[in-house]
């Protein structure tokens, strides 16, 4: 017990003082923030700052289109209207497009009661965002023009075009009803699942790398003359796992502190309001620990059969495939988080931590499913540890070449 | 009571017998050489003494009791290749190994400081291991194996990586430890050091002990067949029928006699053609005995 604690403490201290820990603890959330921030900023700027010309034989429709394209949200767009326009106007505007002095020319030609014909000419062939905005603008303007022409007040026409927004509420098991946002909830589950998959796999591979380094530097030879292999393996798993938990604790604390700031309060409100339940707060570290032990125990055994980190890379798909599989099921889970497939996948131990949190994005799964998933994971960890400790016990003393499958099977028989 | 005893120990891996019916014992205050060509079974024997692997049959006893892991706190081990954490600072590393051997952190720290002074490396205690030379790392490894004041010290190639000055320092330290009553086992390829330091040896070949006993007795049991002559005059006597092999330098010759060669006859032949200043019949070196015993395998 004493040796196991000493080994765990050494592992913990070495990793926590390492540059990699500092970098990942600070950089990973910073990277996340950057990705989200850049995505948000670029979405604000999409399609803006355009200088467009609208050419039409219907001045009312052309002006409605201009209003729609320059409304508050997209006020950076400049729209010049030419209605009615001459052939010379068209030629001049096309020349301006050619010379890049305007970004595009939208032509809307009305013909009686039928739908008008619309064409858009621009120097860029792939500006689908502007094209999409203009399609919306033309359709809305056309509906408004027809409705007002038939006598409907402008405000009624605007209200109809704006349409309705459905308010979503989540009814909790205790009967309480809270306002919810399906998209925000999904992203919350997605981010938590992503963090779980990253940390469990990264720390699992950390254990493997550490074993290979100790094998290469022959430290095992000294350590085994003092401690039992089981103490070394357990100490390493606990020590590295504690580093992961420390990192998660730092992230959660930092996120908690940020959430109470006025900026976060104003940003994460309304459509972006996200609710965290205590169940999620408890299950996140629980599934991290279970996922970490499953992957790290597996990789510890495999690392003991390798001589170099390059040889270990051969086994990395064993960690990557469950992660890919879990994220590939996102659409299925969004559609119905309680379908047979979603439940079955969330009970498959290598996928459990990720899929459980993806499911929690929609709703917290029934208690029996959570408990069953934990029991299944514990059984899997026990099985993998049983196998890995046998490989580890012999593998760490085998030098020279990577073990072949028949050799690995023989090791299992020996121990 | 022997400090360590192997009695009829056998260990096999798959179809290969690594150690076969090996027996020897080492007493307190004794320096013991475990010798043999590569793959002879030395490492397997050491691993069984340390409980890293268990014998298939036979018995390993430490400090008069059948092997138990608790006894390992009284054993120090220096492996052939450095087994140190490269990123750890030297003092932290020594304290860690001391604690693993049952010392309190403070005791380990103060002993590490004393030993660092004794081994002349106290200036590197605050450095990371990876910043140090191979020789320095060897000294750190040595300190980590003796920090807990073990009764039994097992060393595999303790002199590798050391320059002559540090090799002498280590030799002196080992002799001091021996005088303090420690039992020291070392496995090495350096026969000159075995000859100088060891009281007893066990030569293993193909897993079996082929030669064992006190170094003095072993050497005495071999015929003295080497002659050193310092002379002035003709070197004609070097072609004597008694000579198997001769190296002739300026007035100095080293001769190996034929089996049962007559040294007195050679002396007479030499005296007849040259003035003899020195004629010494020397016993065979341990290296010669080694090569002769294991059939000329030079990779001891």
Rounded CA-CA distance B251/B246 in Å is 13
Rounded CA-CA distance A209/A30 in Å is 26
At A183, list the tokens. Answer: 């998209």
- Check if the beta carbon of residue A15 is closer than 8 Å to that of residue A243: yes
Query: Could you list the residue range(s) of the whole structural domain that residue B182 is in?
Result: 4-219
Q: Is A57 exposed, middle or buried (0-12, 13-18, 19+ CB in 10 A)?
A: middle
Which CATH number does the domain housing residue B112 bear?
3.40.50.300
Q: What is the ipTM of this complex?
A: 0.76
Residue B277 has pLDDT above 90, yes or no: yes
Specify whether A295 is located in the same domain as A331. yes
Specify whether A203 is located in the same domain as A330. yes
What is the enclosing helix (H) or strand (E) of B199?
none
**Overall size of chain B counted in residues:** 300
Closest alpha carbon within chain A to B44? A397
The pLDDT of residue A275:
65
Specify whether B198 is located in the same domain as B236. no
The pLDDT of residue A254:
80
Rounded CA-CA distance A165/B40 in Å is 83
Specify whether B157 is located in the same domain as B250. no
Specify whether B165 is located in the same domain as B255. no
Domain assignment present for B300: no
The pLDDT of residue A196:
82
Chain B neighbors of A3, CB-CB under 8 A: 100
Specify whether B189 is located in the same domain as B227. no
Is any Cβ of chain A less than 8 angstroms from the Cβ of B144?
Answer: yes
Is any Cβ of chain A less than 8 angstroms from the Cβ of B53?
Answer: yes
The pLDDT of residue B276:
94
Band of residue B299 on the pLDDT scale cut at 50, 70, 90: very low
Closest alpha carbon within chain B to A227? B100
In tens, the pLDDT along B258-271 reads 888 888 999 999 99
Is any Cβ of chain A less than 8 angstroms from the Cβ of B149?
Answer: no
Specify whether A368 is located in the same domain as A409. yes
Closest alpha carbon within chain A to B71? A226
Angstrom distances, CA of residue B25 to CA of A248, A265, B59, B178: 54, 76, 11, 16
Mean pLDDT, chain B, whole residue set: 88
Specify whether A136 is located in the same domain as A247. no
SS3 (DSSP) at B202: strand
Rounded CA-CA distance B90/B113 in Å is 10
B52:A10 CB<8 A = no
How many beta carbons lie within 10 A of that of residue A252, not counting itself? 14
What is the enclosing helix (H) or strand (E) of A206?
helix A182-216
Specify whether A155 is located in the same domain as A185. no
Is any Cβ of chain A less than 8 angstroms from the Cβ of B84?
Answer: yes
At A387, list the tokens. Answer: 């196998």
CA A4 to chain centre: 37
Q: Which residue from A3, A6, A218 is facing B79, i.e. has the nearest CB?
A: A218
DSSP type of residue A177: E
How many beta carbons lie within 10 A of that of residue A274, not counting itself? 14
The pLDDT of residue A322:
83
**How near does any CA of chain B get to the CA of A310, in Å?**
20
Band of residue B151 on the pLDDT scale cut at 50, 70, 90: very high
Specify whether A126 is located in the same domain as A212. no
Q: Which residue has the higher pLDDT, B105 or A72?
A: B105
Could you tell me if residue B131 is left (phi over 0), alpha (psi between -120 and 50 degrees) or otherwise beta? alpha
Q: Give which of A248, A328, A330 is closest to A28, Cα–Cα.
A: A248
Specify whether B11 is located in the same domain as B139. yes
How many beta carbons lie within 10 A of that of residue A288, not counting itself? 21
How many beta carbons lie within 10 A of that of residue A339, not counting itself? 12
Query: Could you list the residue range(s) of the whole structural domain that residue A152 is in?
Result: 51-161
Report the domain count for chain B.
2
Q: Which residue from B51, B82, B99 is facing A6, i.e. has the nearest CB?
A: B99
Which CATH number does the domain housing residue B229 bear?
3.30.70
Is any Cβ of chain A less than 8 angstroms from the Cβ of B100?
Answer: yes
H-type alpha helices, B236-300? 263-273, 286-293
The pLDDT of residue A270:
57
Q: Which residue has the higher pLDDT, B134 or A169?
A: B134
SS3 (DSSP) at B16: strand
Q: What is the pLDDT along chain A (415 residues), one digit of tens a residue?
A: 788 899 999 989 988 888 888 888 888 777 777 776 776 666 665 556 788 899 998 888 899 998 888 876 656 788 899 988 888 888 998 999 888 888 889 999 887 778 889 999 888 766 777 888 889 889 999 899 889 888 888 888 888 888 887 777 777 767 777 666 667 777 777 888 888 888 888 888 888 888 888 888 778 888 888 888 888 888 988 998 899 889 888 887 887 777 766 666 666 655 556 666 778 888 888 888 898 888 888 888 888 888 787 887 887 787 778 888 888 888 788 777 788 888 998 899 988 988 888 888 777 888 899 999 999 999 999 998 888 888 887 777 776 666 777 777 776 666 5
Specify whether A149 is located in the same domain as A193. no
The pLDDT of residue A75:
60
In tens, the pLDDT along A187-217 reads 777 888 888 888 888 888 888 888 888 888 7
A222:B99 CB<8 A = no
Chain A neighbors of B87, CB-CB under 8 A: 14, 18
Specify whether B96 is located in the same domain as B228. no
Could you tell me if residue B251 is left (phi over 0), alpha (psi between -120 and 50 degrees) or otherwise beta? left
Report the domain count for chain A.
2
């Amino acid at each position: 017990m004493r040796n196991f604690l000493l080994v765990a403490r050494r592992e913990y201290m070495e990793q926590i003082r390492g540059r990699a820990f500092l970098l990942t603890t600070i950089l990973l959330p910073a990277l996340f923030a950057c990705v989200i921030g850049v995505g948000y900023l670029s979405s604000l700027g999409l399609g803006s700052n355009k200088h467009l010309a609208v050419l039409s034989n219907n001045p009312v429709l052309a002006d409605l289109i201009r209003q729609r394209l320059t409304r508050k949200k997209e006020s950076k767009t400049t729209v010049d209207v030419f209605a009615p326009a001459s052939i010379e106007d068209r030629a001049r505007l096309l020349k301006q497009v050619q010379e890049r002095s305007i970004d595009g020319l939208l032509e809307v030609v009305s013909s009686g009661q039928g739908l008008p014909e619309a064409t858009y000419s621009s120097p860029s062939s792939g500006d689908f965002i502007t094209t999409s905005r203009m399609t919306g603008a033309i359709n809305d303007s056309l509906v408004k023009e027809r409705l007002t022409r038939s006598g409907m007040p402008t405000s009624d026409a605007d209200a109809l075009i704006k349409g309705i927004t459905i308010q979503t509420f989540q009814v909790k098991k205790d009967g309480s009803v809270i306002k919810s946002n399906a998209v925000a909830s999904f992203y919350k589950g997605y981010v938590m699942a992503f963090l779980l998959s990253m940390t469990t796999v990264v720390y699992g591979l950390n254990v493997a790398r550490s074993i290979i380094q100790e094998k290469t530097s022959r430290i095992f030879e000294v350590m085994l003359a003092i401690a039992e292999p089981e103490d070394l393996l357990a100490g390493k798993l606990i020590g590295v796992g504690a580093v992961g938990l420390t990192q998660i604790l730092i992230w959660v604390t930092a996120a908690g502190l940020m959430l109470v700031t006025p900026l976060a309060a104003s940003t994460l409100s309304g459509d972006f309001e996200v609710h965290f339940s205590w169940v999620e707060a408890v299950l996140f570290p629980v599934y991290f620990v279970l996922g970490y032990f499953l992957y790290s125990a597996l990789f510890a055994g495999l690392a003991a059969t390798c001589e170099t980190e390059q040889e270990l890379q051969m086994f990395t798909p064993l960690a990557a495939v469950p992660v890919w599989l879990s994220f590939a099921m996102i659409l299925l889970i969004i559609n119905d988080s309680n379908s047979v497939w979603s439940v079955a996948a969330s009970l498959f131990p290598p996928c459990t931590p990720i899929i459980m949190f993806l499911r929690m994005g929609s709703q917290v799964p029934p208690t029996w499913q959570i408990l069953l998933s934990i029991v299944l994971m514990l059984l899997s960890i026990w099985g993998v540890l049983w196998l890995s400790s046998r490989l580890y016990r012999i593998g760490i003393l085998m030098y020279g070449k990577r073990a072949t499958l028949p050799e690995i099977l023989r090791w299992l028989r020996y121990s | 009571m022997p400090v360590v005893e192997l009695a009829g120990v056998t260990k096999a891996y798959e179809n290969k017998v690594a150690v076969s019916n090996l027996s020897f014992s080492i007493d307190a205050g004794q320096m013991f050489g475990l010798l043999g060509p590569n793959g002879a079974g030395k490492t397997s024997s050491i691993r069984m003494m340390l409980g890293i692997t268990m014998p298939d049959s036979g018995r390993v006893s430490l400090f008069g009791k059948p092997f138990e892991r608790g006894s390992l706190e009284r054993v120090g081990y220096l492996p052939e290749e450095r087994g140190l954490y490269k990123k750890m600072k030297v003092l932290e590393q020594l304290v860690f190994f001391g604690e693993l051997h049952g010392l309190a952190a403070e005791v380990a720290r103060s002993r590490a400081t004393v030993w660092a002074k004794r081994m002349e490396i106290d200036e590197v205690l605050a450095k990371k291991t990876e910043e140090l030379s191979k020789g320095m790392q060897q000294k750190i490894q040595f300190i980590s194996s003796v920090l807990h004041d073990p009764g039994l010290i097992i060393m595999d190639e303790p002199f590798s990586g050391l320059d002559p000055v540090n090799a002498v320092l280590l030799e002196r330290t080992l002799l001091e430890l021996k005088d303090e009553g420690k039992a020291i086992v070392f496995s090495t390829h350096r026969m000159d050091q075995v000859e100088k330091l060891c009281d007893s040896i066990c030569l293993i070949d193909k897993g079996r002990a082929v030669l064992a006993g006190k170094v003095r007795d072993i050497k005495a049991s071999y015929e003295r067949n080497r002659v050193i002559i310092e002379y002035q005059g003709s070197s004609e006597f070097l072609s004597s029928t008694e000579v198997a092999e001769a190296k002739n330098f300026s007035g100095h010759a080293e001769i190996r006699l034929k089996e049962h060669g007559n040294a007195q006859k050679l002396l007479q032949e030499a005296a007849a053609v040259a003035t003899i200043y020195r004629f010494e019949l020397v016993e065979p070196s341990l290296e010669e005995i080694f090569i002769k015993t294991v059939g000329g395998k030079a990779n001891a």
